[in-house]
Structure 1
C-alpha cells in the first residue's frame, strides 16, 4: 500500500499575500524584502548580500559623521578632519552609478522658435518647471494671453515643455517675468541659429 504523501507547507508573505517564492512578481517587492530576509533568506540569497552591503554602508556613514574614517585591524580608529568629511560627502552625492558625476541642473528658461511646413511657427518654452511653475497652468495662461493654442508635450529628451502655436518670441520674455516674478530675466535664453543667446 502506497504511503500517503505529506502535504506541502507553503510559506505566505504577510505583505503581498503571495507565496514567498513569488514575492518578486508582486505589486511591491521592496516592502516584502525585510520580511523575506528574516523568514526566507534561502529563497533570495541576493537580498541577504544586499542587506549586508547596506548595513556596512550605514555603519561607515555613522563613523564618518562622528569623525572616524576607518577602523584598523588592531581596533584603532583613525579620525578625519571635519572639512574632509563634508567634502567627501558632497562628492558622494554628486556621483552617479558608474562613477559619473551628476551635473547640477541650472535654473533657466529656454525659448526656441521652430518653423514647420515652411509657414507654421511654434514657440517652444522649456525650463519653467525648474522655478516651481506648474506647466499645465502656464500653458493655459500663455494660450489666453496670446490667443493661440498652447499645450504641454514631451520633448525629444523626455522632458516636458510647452508648445505654443505661432511666433510669440517678441513678447514672451516680458510676459514670463511679469506673470512669474520668480523667473529673472537673466535666466531666460533664446535659441538662435543653434546657439543659446541671453534674452536680457
Structure 2
C-alpha cells in the first residue's frame, strides 16, 4: 500500500507575503533581501556575498520595529494572522500589488447615442455617503427626465440620466448635497478628466 503524501511546507516572506522563492518577482525585493538572508539563505546564495552584515542588522531592526520580526513561518500564510502595524491597513492584491483606495470624487460624463440622444453618467456620489437610488429620483424629478442606477463597465454602480444636463448638474449636486465640494466634481471630455470648478 502506498504511503500518504505529506503536505508541502512553504516558507512565506514576512515582508511581501509571497513564498520566499518568489520574492525576487515581488514589488519589494530590496526590502525582502535582509529577511531572506536571515531566513532563507539557501534560496538566494548570491545575497550573502552582496549584503553587508551592518546593512542586514539595520534592516532587521527596522522590520522588528514595524512588527515584521525576522522569524519565518512555514505552512501558513502570514496574512492569516492579525497585524498590529499600520502598514497592513493597505490592501494588497495577489503578487504584492497595492490596491488603491477610491478617491472621493464625482465624475460626470456625457455619451451620445444615435447621433442625437445623450445620456449623462454620474459616478462617485456613493463615495460621499449618498444613496444612489434617492439621488437618481431627485435628478429625474429636477430635470424632468428618466434616471436610473445601473452597473457600469467596472461593476460599480452609477446613475444614468437621459438628456444633456452636462453643465446644469454641477450646481444641482452642490446645492442638494453640501457634503460634495465643487472641487471634487470632474467632467470627462474627449477622454480627458477636467475639474468642474
TM-score by length of 1: 0.57
Matched, 1:168 2:160: no
d(CA) in 1 for partners of 2:93 and 2:147?
Answer: 36
Per-residue CA deviation, residues 79-130 of structure 1 (Å, 9 max, x unaligned), is 9679943899333222223211111211000000000011000000000000
Which of 183, 186, 189 is equivalent to 2:183? 186
Matched, 1:99 2:80: no
Q: Give the direction of change, closer, same or farther, for the CA distance of 1:188–1:86 in structure 2 (3 Å limit).
A: farther
Q: Give the direction of change, closer, same or farther, for the CA distance of 1:103–1:197 in structure 2 (3 Å limit).
A: same
d(CA) in 1 for partners of 2:184 and 2:67?
Answer: 30
**Could you list the runs of 4 or more consecutive aligned residues of structure 1 that deviate by over 3 angstroms after TM superposition?**
79-84
Shift of residue 184, structure 1, vs aligned partner: 0.3
Matched, 1:128 2:125: yes
Unmatched 5+ stretches in structure 1: 1-44, 54-78
SS class of match (1:169):
coil
Larger radius of gyration: 1
Shift of residue 135, structure 1, vs aligned partner: 0.2
Unmatched 5+ stretches in structure 2: 1-5, 13-59, 69-83
SS class of match (2:66):
helix
- Say which structure, 1 or 2, has more relative contact order (CA 8 Å, 6+ apart): 2
Aligned residue-pair number: 132
